[in-house]
Structure 1
């Protein structure tokens, strides 16, 4: 398989690292996708060997047909960490030179080190990261064992155990879970992402005034729950690849708006990636937010009419060079808006709650993902069920949405005072729609 490191003479084993190599491809009709491989690199970062280990990540398990864009990149990073830990960094301890020889005890040591170790910023990894690592590596060895049988030291019955539980419909089901119990240090610092509705309204008005290039991008997150990378994949209505947004009217009244995220296309002529679509789909705008969404969209169309862009791609969001924005561009513009306009305004605001939040922005960084969080909070406060949250958020599984329902009582207490209606919020602060300052 090419996964053995054998070196004669001096053993410069630590000069080599397993790593993930990404190769970006574009089909003739413009579909963009990435293929990831597990490779071996030397001390200069040069690939010296391609392996076949990417075949055993378990992506789309037991499926004969896979979506073009499917890629197990995230799982591969955990697998590479395990390979480096056992075969290279701790070779003096384990003395094995092939992945087939890895034992369960070695995996326990790796998982424990991963869970108890610190990140580059000095913080500890969260439970979700530890769980993902264990699941990814365990499935990897199950796939190896299934393919190579007796050559692999570990068997499936060592790696999994059967349990019973209830699914989200209340049915009793059997599940196979990794047979490991690893302790971890809980993260002490939570991600700063809460935005009171009154602050959200101020932020959106500031975006329209000072950052019109990203105001609608922020609206796609706040009113349709898109992730920042997904926003950068949205196309204009006149795109050669099909309308990026589809509006449905009844008797002249907008009743539905959908964002086309069914395929990840190349968005720029230079091949630079703009962002990833986590779940390919057509994502609807949450109905109570349709009016505000439409207002933002009309404003953005007026802005685009003053810009140049690549007509072959028709990106919804363009940078100063007329090319599609990347997630990095969006993130930087959002930070500029918060640091230059939002925080100073809040610190001098007449409302004491706004002043307190402005002080919090002096100590915490507010990222674009906070807008999707605000969207999720609004859904929970409006009584949406876990299935509905999963649908409107565009999640693959219900776990992320469940967090909002579990904490709904706290959300109600914290945000009820600022849960204002959105119908006219864009009309405030000086009739922005008419270009008055």
Structure 2
């Protein structure tokens, strides 16, 4: 198999091809063998798997990227190879599957510096791997990317047409292999990454943020609620469908009297969301995600308002996106992210800077030095869970996490969270704002 498309008997029309590869993912396959000396050895392969079931469909030639080494004898530990393989699969999924519609390449030898830059940008923002990354994590990922591109050049040589002329590796004064960095992020991202990762937002200021969304992006206010009260990731927001989708209803709720007692979001399947074949975003963990119980009343109120907004649009019988652009098409994660960032870092900052409340002005000053991305809403949600004294297992369940790693970090750092919240809130004792346009 030379590329993803070899799983398909013949090249299909573009839309069907995209739909087909969206059901696949690259992942690691492990074969355990016993050596002649009786030692257990794990051998790793890069495989194509079914995204929904995780069943391995076939091994791929990209395993040579996994096993390639700058030394004649590869003496790396199995765990080291596994970590390297996870990075390779992360990159292969981003380039060949998740963003095929954008890059239009189906073989890794066709990658470019621009694609690498885009990968690092999305990784830094948390759209790959979940959660925004620290500068240290980004630097490590960039180093891995330089190493990968060096391997691609060494393996494919001139067939790697867009990168083979670049010098990727050299040896330092101790004869150790080192890698040249040809990647960079655009000016806006350099500016954002120059600041410490910033996610904290006091509840009173969040209320302002929510009210501002009703002014500037009313079609996304309910999406913000899904992030803040159900912990959805940006890509998952773009995959939510309306309840009227008869084949795959996106939401369902239960009522006791007139009040919603449970609200479920269907993220069990990655569906085609637009008739133009555009990939709107991914779902990190397939699941039914519940809205956090204490905020069901708030979500019910915003849902009713959102249904009124959706009445402005006409939808094809096959597509019922919950969150749309001005044309009534499912919003893409790129567009969603841009709007949320503009709402937080422009409109919110401007409003707070003009406020008579000194603590609001203080937060506006913070936003002149630090930037918020949509992942601050998922962080906000997690803080709610931590402050409600939920266990790591409960937090992971509400967040839709695959493991307990993030939950354990939040629980471990609870004291620091409380300290940061106290510093940000100061002595604010005002009632939660009902609106921002009454001043």
Shorter-normalised TM range: 0.5 to 0.7
Match of 2:435 among 416, 422, 428: 428
Cα distance in 1, alignment partners of residues 6 and 426 from structure 2: 44
Match in the other structure for 2:137: 126
Cα distance in 1, alignment partners of residues 274 and 416 from structure 2: 43
- Within-5 A mapping of 1:165-176: none
The answer for unaligned runs of 5 or more in structure 1 is 3-18, 39-54, 61-65, 138-186, 432-436
Cα distance in 2, alignment partners of residues 362 and 408 from structure 1: 26
SS of residue matched to 1:57: strand
Match in the other structure for 2:226: 220
SS of residue matched to 1:249: strand
Cα distance in 1, alignment partners of residues 213 and 63 from structure 2: 42
Match of 1:323 among 329, 352, 356: 329
- Within-5 A mapping of 1:369-388: 369-388=375-394
User: How big is each residue's C-alpha offset from its partner over 1:19-74, in whole Å with a ceiling of 9 and x where there is no partner?
Assistant: 99999986999995244499xxxxxxxxxxxxxxxx923788xxxxx6536499xx
Match of 1:348 among 347, 350, 354: 354
SS of residue matched to 1:310: coil
Match of 2:404 among 388, 398, 420: 398
The answer for unaligned runs of 5 or more in structure 2 is 8-13, 29-43, 88-116, 125-133, 149-192
Cα distance change, pair 337–20 in 1 and its aligned pair in 2 (3 A): farther
Cα distance in 1, alignment partners of residues 236 and 212 from structure 2: 23
Cα distance in 1, alignment partners of residues 352 and 55 from structure 2: 43
Whether the 8 Å CA contact 1:344–1:358 is kept in 2: the answer is yes
Number of residues of Structure 1 aligned to a counterpart in Structure 2: 318
Whether the 8 Å CA contact 1:31–1:264 is kept in 2: the answer is no
1:106 Cα offset (Å): 12
Structure whose CA Rg is larger: 1
Cα distance change, pair 353–425 in 1 and its aligned pair in 2 (3 A): closer
Cα distance in 2, alignment partners of residues 359 and 392 from structure 1: 33
1:229 Cα offset (Å): 0.5
Cα distance in 2, alignment partners of residues 330 and 195 from structure 1: 19
TM-score by length of 1: 0.61
Match in the other structure for 2:75: 103
1:306 Cα offset (Å): 1.4
User: How big is each residue's C-alpha offset from its partner over 1:195-230, in whole Å with a ceiling of 9 and x where there is no partner?
Assistant: 111211110000012111211111100010111101
Cα distance change, pair 188–298 in 1 and its aligned pair in 2 (3 A): same
Cα distance in 2, alignment partners of residues 380 and 219 from structure 1: 18
Q: Once superposed, what is the RMSD of the aligned Cα atoms?
A: 4.5
Whether the 8 Å CA contact 2:25–2:51 is kept in 1: the answer is no
Match of 2:301 among 292, 295, 299: 295
1:392 Cα offset (Å): 0.3
Moved more, 121-130 or 366-375: 121-130
User: Does 1:205 pair with 2:211?
Assistant: yes
Match in the other structure for 2:23: 33
- Within-5 A mapping of 1:85-104: 86=69, 90=70, 94=71, 102-104=74-76
- Within-5 A mapping of 1:11-50: 32-36=22-26
